[in-house]
Amino acid sequence: MSKSALITGVTGQDGAYLCKLLLGKGYKVFGLARRLSTPNLWRLKYFDIVDKIEILDGDLLDQESLATAVKKAKPDEVYNLAAQSFVATSWTQPILTSEIDGLGVVRLLNAVRSFAPHAKFYQASTSEMYGNSHTNGKQDEQTALHPRSPYAIAKLYAHWMTINYRESYDMFNCCGILFNHESPIRGIEFVTRKITDAVARIKLGLQDKLLLGNLDARRDWGFAGDYVEAMWLMLQQDKPEEYVVATGENHSVRDFCSAAFGAVGISDWEKYVGIDKRYIRPAELNILQGIPNKATERLGWKPKVTFKELVQMMVEAELKRLSSNRSHQSLASNLIHDSEQLKKEIKVKNI
C-alpha cells in the first residue's frame, strides 16, 4: 500500500517541491492550507500538481483544524513546513511570528501525538538559529545556537519542543537544520529572488534600479529541489535525529548580484544597484556556512545544483516569465486595438 504524507505549508516553495517529490515516489499527499480570500496555488500550478494532491483546510493558529486534518489524512509522515518564514517581517510582527512558528508547532505536535502517534514528523528548523555563532567559521549540529531575530527565536523554541516531544513521548521527530535554499518559486521578498527578478527586468528594460540592504552578508545558498530530498531521507532512517543540510560554501549578496547580472551579460552591475536603509536589519547574521557531513555520511545526501547553476536557473526562469507576460500583454493590447478598430468600423458602417 502506498504511504501517505501530510505537508503543512504546501503552498510555499518547499511545500511545492516536496509534493512533487512525494508524488513521484507514489505517496498519497495531503496538503494543509490556510484560508485566504484568494487561494495561493501558483506554485502547485507551476508544477501542474494541484489536482494530484488533497488540500485540507487548516491553520497553525487553530488547534481544532489541525486535529481534523491529521484525523482525515491518517499520515505515515508529517512534514511541518508552514511558517511566517521571512526574517525581516519577524521584527514588525514578532507576536504573529511566535504564534505561528513557535506555538503553532506545538499545536501540530499535539494533534499528531493524539491522532497519528506513529507518524514520522519533520520540523523545518533553520540555520538562522545559529545567529553569528560558529565553529571555526562554520556551523554543524554541535555549534551553539544564538538566534538574533524573532523568527529565529520562535524556530528555536519549535526545534526544542519537537525534540522534547520525541524524548517525552517516544515520537519519531526529526529537525532538519536547513541553510538558505532558493529556486525560481522562492518568495519575491527574499534577496535571491528579488535580485533575479530585478536583473531580468533591467535586462528587458522594465526597471532601472535595484535597491538592497547589506551587500556583505554571506549565506550558504542551495537549491530547494535538492533540500526536500534531504527532508524525505531523514524520515526514512531507523532513528530520528537532527541534520544540517547545506552546500558547505558561502557567497555574499554582492557575489549573488555579480553572478545574476553576469548571467545576462551585464558586468558593470554596480551602477544598477543602490543601498536603501529600509532593507538593513536591526540585527544581522554575517556569515552562514553549513557543514553537511552528517547528512552526506548518514543519509547519502549531497547537493546536486551548484551556486552558479542556481543563479543561472533563477535568472532564466525570470526572463521566461517576464517575456511571456510581455507577449501576453502585447496580445492583450492587440486584442484591445482590434476591438477598438471593430467599434470604429461598426460606427462607420452605422451597424
Contact characters 89-128, ligand NDP, x per CB under 6 A: -----------x-----------------------x-x--
With CB under 5 to 8 Å by kind, the binding choice for 15 among ligand GDP, ligand NDP, none is ligand NDP
Selected from 4, 7, 12, 171, the binder of ligand NDP by CB under 6 A is 12
Least CB distance from residue 282 to ligand GDP, whole Å?
Answer: 10
Kindly name the residue from 27, 122, 128, 182 that is annotated as catalytic. Answer: 128
224's enclosing H/E stretch is helix 224-235
Q: Of these partners, ligand GDP, ligand NDP, none, which one is at the site of residue 139 (CB under 5 to 8 Å by kind)?
A: none
Which residue in 8, 11, 97, 126 is the catalytic one? Answer: 126
Closest listed residue to residue 30, CA positions, set 12, 11, 9, 55: 55
Residue 279 CA, distance from chain mean position: 20
**Which among 45, 12, 37, 325 is positioned nearest to 193, based on CA atoms?**
12
End-to-end alpha-carbon separation of the chain, Å? 66
Closest residue (Cβ) to ligand GDP?
217
Sign of the CA dihedral with 135 first, then 138, 140, and 145 last: positive
DSSP 180-194: PEE-TTS-TTSHHHH
Residue 212 binds which entry of ligand GDP, ligand NDP, none, with Cβ cut-offs from 5 to 8 Å by kind? ligand GDP
Is 250 a binding residue for ligand NDP by CB under 6 A? The answer is: no
Q: Is 162 among the catalytic positions? A: no
Q: Which positions lie near ligand GDP, rule CB under 6 A?
A: 87-88, 180, 189-192, 194, 212-214, 217, 219, 253, 279, 281, 284-285
CA–CA dist 24, 22 (Å, integer): 5
- Residue number with CB closer to ligand NDP (12 or 150): 12
Q: 215-225 burial, b if ≥16 CB within 10 A, otherwise e?
A: eebbbbbbbbb
- Using alpha carbons, select from 202, 181, 193 the residue that is nearest to residue 274: 202
Interatomic CA distance for residues 311 and 336, integer angstroms: 37
- Please state, in angstroms and rounded to a whole number, the distance separating the CA atoms of residues 82 and 249: 27
**b/e code 124-134 from CB counts within 10 Å (16+ = b):** bbbbbbbbeeb
What sign for the dihedral angle of Cα 165, 170, 172, 177? positive
Judge whether 151 counts as a catalytic residue: yes
- Report in angstroms the alpha-carbon separations of 116 from 29, 162, 205, 325: 15, 15, 53, 45
Q: Which does 248 bind (CB under 5 to 8 A by kind): ligand NDP, ligand GDP, none?
A: none
**Which does residue 12 touch among ligand GDP, ligand NDP, none (CB within 5 to 8 A, set by kind)?**
ligand NDP
- Tell whether the torsion through CA atoms of 292, 294, 295 and 297 is positive or negative: positive
Q: Does 226 bind ligand NDP (CB under 6 A)?
A: no
36 makes contact with ligand NDP (CB under 6 A): yes
Closest approach of ligand NDP to the CB of residue 274, in Å: 25
Binding mask 47-76 for ligand NDP (x = CB under 6 A): ------------xxx---------------
Q: How far is the CB of 225 from ligand GDP (least distance, A)?
A: 18
Q: Which helix (H) or strand (E) holds 225?
A: helix 224-235
Q: How far is the CB of 190 from ligand GDP (least distance, A)?
A: 4
CB of 150 to ligand NDP, least distance (A): 12
CB of 36 to ligand GDP, least distance (A): 22
- Closest distance to ligand NDP from the beta carbon of 347 (Å): 48
What residues are annotated to the active site? Answer: 126, 128, 151
Residues found near ligand NDP in the complex (CB under 6 A):
8-9, 11-15, 34, 36, 40, 59-61, 81-85, 100, 124, 126, 178, 180-181, 187
